[in-house]
Amino acid sequence: MNWLTPFLKAVSAVVWKDLAAELRSRELLSAMLVFALMVIFVFNFSLELDVQARASVTTGVLWVTFIFAGTLGLNRSMAVEKDRGCLDGLLLAPVDRTAIYFGKTLANWVFMLIVAAVVLPLYSVLYNVNLFIPGLLLVILLGTLGYVAVGTLLASMAVQARTRDILLPILLFPVALPLVIAAVRASSGYLTGAALDEIMPYINLLLVFDVVFAAVALITFDYIVEE
Amino acid sequence: MSDPKPRWLSILDVVTIIILTAATLLVFLYAPTEQTMGDVQRVFYFHVAASWTGMLGFIVAMAAGIFYLAKKDLFWDVVGLAGVEIGMVFMLIGIVTGSIWAYPAWNTWWTWDPRLTTVTIMELAYAAYLMLRAGIDEPERRARFGAVYALIASLSVPLTFFSIRIWRTIHPVVVAGDTSGTFALSPKMTTVFVFALVTFSLIFVDLLWHRVRLGLLARRVEEKKLRLLD
Amino acid sequence: MVIPDTTSFMIAGYAVIFGVMLVYLVSLALRFRKLRQDEQTLDELDQDRQR
């Protein structure tokens, strides 16, 4: 397994680069967080519901928030690379290209999880509902992972096109839909205390999605960044 | 003209037109009138056939994408684009006729059932594919990205179908109004149904061949333009 | 039982089917014609250049 160590080193190098850059500038995270907060507040005013009805809308609102904020993060993370010429620099490095993909995906995942870490307690407080259920947290982990897995892949393509800003959501939405459906239904299941055998099919679907698209990314990323 | 129309294609054109005429006659004269929803049921035959053709386009796009990534021959890119374009046209027919059929049958213009939702997502993926290509100017990169997206979409569309089917299994929906919805296929209906499927498959092959020729012609014109500019 | 009269829906359906197919065929034909004209023009320009 001689290739594993340099591979992992490359992956962590990319991850730390993104995280460190973000820590210094905080552009990405502030944009994502502001956006997430806006969505939560707008939903409050547009859906004048009583406490009961709110429970059933909660998972929808949550996932819309995650998705929109996630898409913002994906777009900007790849655009920064392209604009500053970092992408070319990374590509010149003598390391397997998929390390770049995994590094970027992990960094994007961390950003999405940070947003979730802020949104969940805030939502719990504002809407008086306990969101810290283990099952729900699992769904958020699996769902956001799948989203950034396929999102990073598509963002690497979108950023190389002329219409880059509007292209990513257009490419991502049809492809990420099964993930979103499964995530929303599974989250709903855990929140309303549904039986486990009603939730498991969705969890399985999430796992299948994550594995399939990680595999696809492994195979196709080289084709996307070759010059 | 550097590429005279192949004789086999002309023959295919004639055969396709004859078979389409035959299918249409079968639908209107041979198929019986369905009891619960009347004449609109006849739309069903071509509606399913058109949706099937829409899916054929998708499969062709996926296969062509894989072939392109493997062989880097731009011919496969032309085939993939042709598949997407034709698939999109016929899937649109399928979706609209599905809606037209649904209203008198179930008293609703739209149902969020697995098949209908999935084909709509497929149509959106088609559109996304075209928009991706539209944003890239270099032919080689355009072909590569198209192929990758076709591959990604062809994996996620079946997953969409399953996710909605799981949802409908756990939470079945009761359609307001006439819940009989489906109807039994008599032997005569089955004949017409199968014939329609064959007809539209033939139409797909015929149109695909024409569209690929168009794409190859477009590439030749591009090459001549570039050579002239040197 | 009376069979409901849904003929107008049937006509609408078939109008869509044949209409859309026709539009696509016309689009193909027009694009073919334009490209052949372009090809002819380019060939003539090329020949002029070679003289």
pLDDT tens per residue across span A67-120: 988 998 888 777 777 666 666 676 677 767 788 888 889 999 998 999 899 889
Domain segments of chain A as ranges: 8-225
What is the percent of chain A where pLDDT is above 90? 33
In a domain, B208, yes or no: yes
Q: Which pLDDT score, from 0 to 100, does residue C3 have?
A: 77
Q: Which pLDDT score, from 0 to 100, does residue B71 have?
A: 94
pLDDT category of residue B174 using cuts at 50, 70 and 90: low
In a domain, B161, yes or no: yes
pLDDT category of residue B180 using cuts at 50, 70 and 90: very low
Per the CB < 8 A criterion, the answer to whether A122 and A27 are in contact is: no
pLDDT category of residue B24 using cuts at 50, 70 and 90: very high
Mean pLDDT of B180-189: 70
pLDDT category of residue A152 using cuts at 50, 70 and 90: very high
Touch of B by C (3+ CB pairs closer than 8 Å): yes
Per residue in C5-31, pLDDT (tens digit) is 878 888 999 999 999 999 999 999 999
Measure A209 CA to nearest chain B CA, in Å: 8
pTM: 0.88
Chains in touch with C (3+ beta-carbon pairs under 8 Å) read: B
Phi, psi of B137 (to 5 degrees): -95, -35
Interface membership of C28 toward B (CB under 8 Å): yes
Query: Which runs of consecutive H residues, i.e. helices, occur in chain A?
Result: 4-25, 27-46, 51-83, 86-92, 98-127, 134-158, 164-191, 196-225
Is the pLDDT score of B211 beyond 80?
yes
Is the pLDDT score of B182 beyond 80?
no
In a domain, B4, yes or no: no
**Which of A84, A210, A203, A95 lies closest to A152, judged by CA?**
A210
The percent helix, strand, coil of chain C (3-state, each to 5) is 85, 0, 15
Is the pLDDT score of B146 beyond 90?
yes
Contacts of residue A56, Cβ cutoff 8 Å, sequence gap at least 6: A188, A192
Q: Give the pair of three-digit tokens for residue A45.
A: 């005013």
**In this complex, which of B132, B157, B167 lies closest to A167 when CB atoms are compared?**
B132
In a domain, B3, yes or no: no
Q: Which pLDDT score, from 0 to 100, does residue B48 have?
A: 92
Residues on chain A touching B140 (C-beta within 8 angstroms) = none
Given the structure tokens 């777009």, which residue do they identify?
Answer: A75
Task: Using CB atoms within 10 Å of the CB of residue C22, give its burial: 0 to 12 exposed, 13 to 18 middle, 19+ buried.
Answer: exposed
Is the pLDDT score of A18 beyond 90?
no
Max avg pLDDT among A222-226, B74-78, B157-161: B74-78
Residues on chain A touching B156 (C-beta within 8 angstroms) = 150, 174-178, 209, 213
What value does the mean pLDDT of chain B take? 89
Measure B77 CA to nearest chain A CA, in Å: 15
Given the structure tokens 């009583």, which residue do they identify?
Answer: A50
pLDDT category of residue A184 using cuts at 50, 70 and 90: very high
Q: Which pLDDT score, from 0 to 100, does residue B178 have?
A: 39
**In this complex, which of C5, C16, C28 lies closest to B100 when CB atoms are compared?**
C16
Phi, psi of B162 (to 5 degrees): -65, -40
Is the pLDDT score of B171 beyond 90?
no
Interface membership of A159 toward B (CB under 8 Å): no
- What is the residue type of B203? I
Instruction: Find the range with the poorest average confidence among A20-24, A129-133, A159-163.
Output: A20-24
Q: Which pLDDT score, from 0 to 100, does residue A182 have?
A: 93
Q: Which pLDDT score, from 0 to 100, does residue A52 have?
A: 61
**Mapping DSSP to helix (H, G, I), strand (E, B) and coil, where does residue B38 land?**
strand
**Which of B33, C19, B4, B136 lies closest to A224, judged by CA?**
B136
- As for how many domains chain B has, the answer is 1
Is the pLDDT score of B165 beyond 70?
yes
DSSP B130: H
Per residue in B93-140, pLDDT (tens digit) is 999 999 998 888 778 888 888 888 898 999 999 999 999 999 998 999
Q: Which pLDDT score, from 0 to 100, does residue A28 have?
A: 78
Is the pLDDT score of B192 beyond 60?
yes
Mean pLDDT of A177-188: 92
DSSP B201: H
Chains in touch with A (3+ beta-carbon pairs under 8 Å) read: B
Mean pLDDT of B1-18: 89
Residue in B closest to C25 by C-alpha? B207
Residues on chain B touching A167 (C-beta within 8 angstroms) = 131-132, 135
**Mapping DSSP to helix (H, G, I), strand (E, B) and coil, where does residue A42 land?**
helix
pLDDT category of residue B179 using cuts at 50, 70 and 90: very low
Interface membership of A157 toward B (CB under 8 Å): yes
In a domain, B201, yes or no: yes
Range of the domain at B69: 38-222
Is the pLDDT score of A56 beyond 80?
no
CB contact under 8 A, B137 and A171: no
d(CA B25, CA B28): 5
What is the percent of chain B where pLDDT is above 70? 94
pLDDT category of residue A44 using cuts at 50, 70 and 90: confident
Q: Give the pair of three-digit tokens for residue A71.
A: 């898409």
Task: Give the residue, A209 or C1, on which the prediction is more confident.
Answer: A209
